[in-house]
A and B are shown apart, each in its own frame.
Chain A
Amino acid sequence: MNGWATAGTGAPDEARTPEDVRSPEHVRAAYAEIRAWLTQTPHDRLQLKRREAEVLFRRIGITFAVYGEGGDPERILPFDLVPRIVTGEEWSTLSRGLAQRVRALNAFLTDIYHGQDILKAGVIPADLVLRNVGYLPQMQGLKVPGNVYTHIAGIDLVRTDENDFFVLEDNVRTPSGVSYMLENRDVMMRLFPDLLSAHQVRPVDHYPSSLRDTLCSVAPPNMAAGQPTVVLLTPGIYNSAYYEHTFLADQMGVELVEGPDLFVSENKVFMRTTEGPKRVDIIYRRIDDAFLDPLVFRPDSQLGVPGLIDAYRAGNVTLANAVGTGIADDKMIYTFVPDMIRFYLGEEPLLNNVPTRWCGRSDDCRYVLEHLDELVVKEVRGSGGYGMLVGPKSTRAEQAAYAERIKANPEDFIAQPTLALSTCPTLVEEGVAPRHVDLRPFLLVGANGVSLVPGGLTRVALKQGSLVVNSSQGGGTKDTWVLAR
């Protein structure tokens, strides 16, 4: 069987071959070898390899939790054997664009919590920032080491054309998924060593040591002499990303702590150890702002550490990511990122935003209501692919119901055009078929600048025709190969 686009070719956009939108030859070339391999390898052998991969994931325990849906509370994320390929040339453009974006986001966060020049200059409406739930007045005027706010950022990209990557959203609070990037590669190396070496794939394995270096570079001003002590703070085993937390702590060689393991004394943070209290300097926290310190934020939280924010304000501990970064990945603030790049860096953005309309503006709102059948409409505060309307895939009745929601609270909704997303060949029951993908590269920002490993997490919509790649919505993952050439 020719395994290429033989299944699921119902809709015209499904028939596209890998990473192909309008100018296929160039992009397809990168897939030539994979294509030959897929064509030569019998389907049952591919399915066998897929089951082998699943056994590996299950045995290593690479799981994620899904809440409130019953069934297996520890699932493995579906893994697709066919890698997603990014050429060296494409990567160099992408990585420059990503670094530029993250530098601007950090400049924005520094500005917002200090001089607020961008608001004074009228580039972003002040109300949109200062009355936003993501803006934390507790952070106003607080100096953070190296002026770094988002030490770890995950930027979601989609591709629509040979040279067109769009930024779908910025994740600058506690982005997850990097462990899949690393484990996917590990599993591919076990299953297909020859294929990997034939492609000259650039390695990603040094991510944990880069992360550790990044964290150590932003040690707090008032730390004890010697090596800084780094810990990773997790909400615990019931968190959906718990596997990732253990994985990263393990790979970095740092303690994985939960709130009750830490305590604050004289504005310094300590962990409880079998040898007595031990001072902590840098906390890579994977719990949300609201749960960090019950004395400052939610008093009912058991996850955090009482007094942590005082220690933070006193410059005795660094939190990564910083508190209050949520303002920068707000869906409305997103629309201003290109303006931030021009304002802070004096450069033109290298990566595009998806053109976004905000229903809080009356002319935008009118347009959105008139074009519901062609737009994707999202709640400003929504996430995980929940509560959105995918216009072209919706019924008249769904559109009408959604229109009522928009009219009731217009400022809560944004709308974007449905993009002609690229697809990648993906192994499904019937064979190899194109499925939509996105890409989340992970950026690290330390006192000495921005770095990123060549790769990221490729998520794939496993359902035919689906544009939604979220793991909570039945999406899977692929290994992402950035080629040396």
Chain B
Amino acid sequence: MLSRTADNIYWLSRNMERAENLARIIEAGHRMALLPSSAAEGGYDEWRSALISAGVAGGFVARHGEEAVDQRRVVDYIAFDRDNPSSIRSCIENARRNARSVRTALTSEMWESINSTWMEMNRIDPADVTGTELRNFLDWIKERVTLFRGSAYGTMIRDDAYAFVRLGTYVERGDNTARILDVKYNILLPPEETVGGAVDEYQWMSILRSVSAHRSFHWLYRTNVRPWLVAEFLILRPEMPRSLVACVREVDTQLDYLAKLYGRRAECHRQAGQLHAQLTYGRTEDIFQAGLHEFLTDFIMRNARLSDEIQRCYLS
């Protein structure tokens, strides 16, 4: 396969996955902002943390200024702003551009799912996406990305192209889960609340809900939401399809498949194996000892380096 084709397939999946996760970040922020204590403070922290989690705080401040953090502007910036290269709209635009460049490598179901998402996205007026419409919009994005993943899963030949779809999806998802988990770090608990109290628990539950893991958490742990359990669930539990270990495992598997198919190994294979092993044998108490935020920051960096190495080996 052409390296450019693989590159476009990889980034196509990353862009679609990112669009979904940005919707999840907005959803987490939105849920937290609904709390009474937050409303009193104008929801400042929740929306600020959403910007940080989405990795666009710098761009937002450059555009709107330090004091402009409110729901309307943040949602608009993360969801619709064309000048924000990683807004949901930009992700859909980029995904469609990637898809157009490699249409011959996609199944018609994949192309049509992306193309109609793009066409419908173009018809959405951000001014209409307020109140209950915001949740409808976020649900719609998640649904469209699910449709894309499903069409890839259901129609693609299991060859190298499929491996690059999976690589893109899981590299991006690992990054995003780490970022969503980090949302909690970036929110200060209101001073009158206690750690482990109702607000704290509500915030952790919002994190779980945003990765559609609220029910599966209870099913697995059969206990109340505790910070270290949420962290364990989203970092170390291989059963959870959005956990860091599940993402890295899938990346490792797909790279291994490519190595066998093409008969060569490179630095990306070593890094993926190493990261996978570390997460497989990791322990929650060690993570909290070193600091959850520090752990997540380190993961995001290593995941990005792994992506660079995949790029170097196959995509350029």
Contacts and interface: CB of A to CB of B under 8 A. Distances in A.
A97 to B, nearest CB: 35
Interface string A270-281: 011111100000
A274 B160 contact: yes
A245 B262 CA distance: 28
Given A61-B115, A274-B314, A246 B103 contact: yes
Contacts of A249: 104
A272 B3 contact: yes
Interface string A214-242: 00000000000000000000001100001
Contacts of B262: 274-276
A274 B1 contact: yes
B3 A273 contact: yes
A404 interface: no
A272 B115 contact: no
A249 B102 CA distance: 11
Contacts of A275: 1, 262
A413 B112 CA distance: 47
A249 B3 CA distance: 17
26 contacts: A59-B112, A59-B115, A61-B111, A237-B97, A242-B100, A246-B103, A246-B104, A250-B103, A255-B2, A255-B5, A256-B104, A257-B4, A260-B4, A261-B2, A272-B4, A272-B316, A273-B1, A273-B2, A274-B1, A274-B6, A274-B160, A274-B164, A275-B1, A275-B262, A276-B262, A276-B264
A332 B51 CA distance: 64
B101 interface: yes
Given A61-B115, A274-B314, A275-B262, A261 B3 contact: yes
Q: Which 3 A-B pairs have the closest CB atoms?
A: A250-B104, A272-B3, A274-B314
A237 B101 contact: yes
Contacts of B3: 261, 272-274
A242 B314 CA distance: 25
Interface in A265-291: 271-276
Given A61-B115, A274-B262, A275-B262, A237 B100 contact: yes
Contacts of B111: 61
Give chain B's interface secondary structure class: helix
Interface string A58-70: 0101000000000
A236 B100 CA distance: 10
Nearest to B316: A272
A255 B112 CA distance: 21
B166 to A, nearest CB: 14
Interface string A443-473: 0000000000000000000000000000000
A316 B104 CA distance: 27
A275 B262 CA distance: 6
A272 B100 contact: no
Given A61-B111, A274-B314, A257 B104 contact: no
A293 interface: no
Contact of A271 (B2, B101, B264, B314): B2
A260 B164 CA distance: 20
B104 A261 contact: no
A258 interface: yes
B56 to A, nearest CB: 27
Interface residues of A, number: 20
Contacts of A61: 103, 111, 115
Given A242-B100, A249-B104, A255-B5, 13 more contacts: A59-B115, A61-B111, A236-B101, A237-B101, A261-B3, A261-B4, A272-B4, A272-B316, A274-B6, A274-B160, A274-B164, A274-B262, A276-B264
Contacts of A237: 97, 100-101
A257 B101 contact: no
Given A274-B262, A274-B314, A257 B2 contact: yes
Contacts of B104: 246, 249-250, 256
A257 B104 CA distance: 11
Contacts of A276: 262, 264
Interface string B102-143: 011000000110010000000000000000000000000000
A302 to B, nearest CB: 14
A46 B1 CA distance: 44
Which of A250, A273, A274 has the most CB atoms of chain B within a 10 A radius of its CB? A274
Contacts of B160: 274
Nearest to A232: B104
Nearest to B315: A274
A107 to B, nearest CB: 36
Contacts of B2: 255, 257, 261, 271-274
Interface string B1-22: 1111110000000000000000
Interface string B79-109: 0000000000000000001001101100000
Nearest to B7: A274
A218 to B, nearest CB: 23
Contacts of A273: 1-3
Contacts of A272: 2-4, 316
Nearest to B97: A237
Contacts of B115: 59, 61
A329 to B, nearest CB: 29
A285 B217 CA distance: 56
Interface string B299-316: 000000000000000111
A277 to B, nearest CB: 10
A317 B97 CA distance: 31
Contacts of B100: 237, 242
Contacts of B112: 59
Given A246-B103, A249-B104, A274-B314, A258 B97 contact: no
A212 to B, nearest CB: 15
Nearest to B314: A274
Nearest to A254: B104
B162 to A, nearest CB: 13
A408 B274 CA distance: 75
Nearest to B4: A261
Contacts of B5: 255
Contacts of B164: 274
A246 B102 CA distance: 8
A349 to B, nearest CB: 40
B309 to A, nearest CB: 14
A299 to B, nearest CB: 23
Interface string B238-254: 00000000000000000
Nearest to A249: B104
B11 to A, nearest CB: 14
Nearest to B163: A274
Contacts of A236: 101
Nearest to B1: A274
A260 to B, nearest CB: 7
A74 to B, nearest CB: 9
A256 B4 CA distance: 10
Contacts of B6: 274
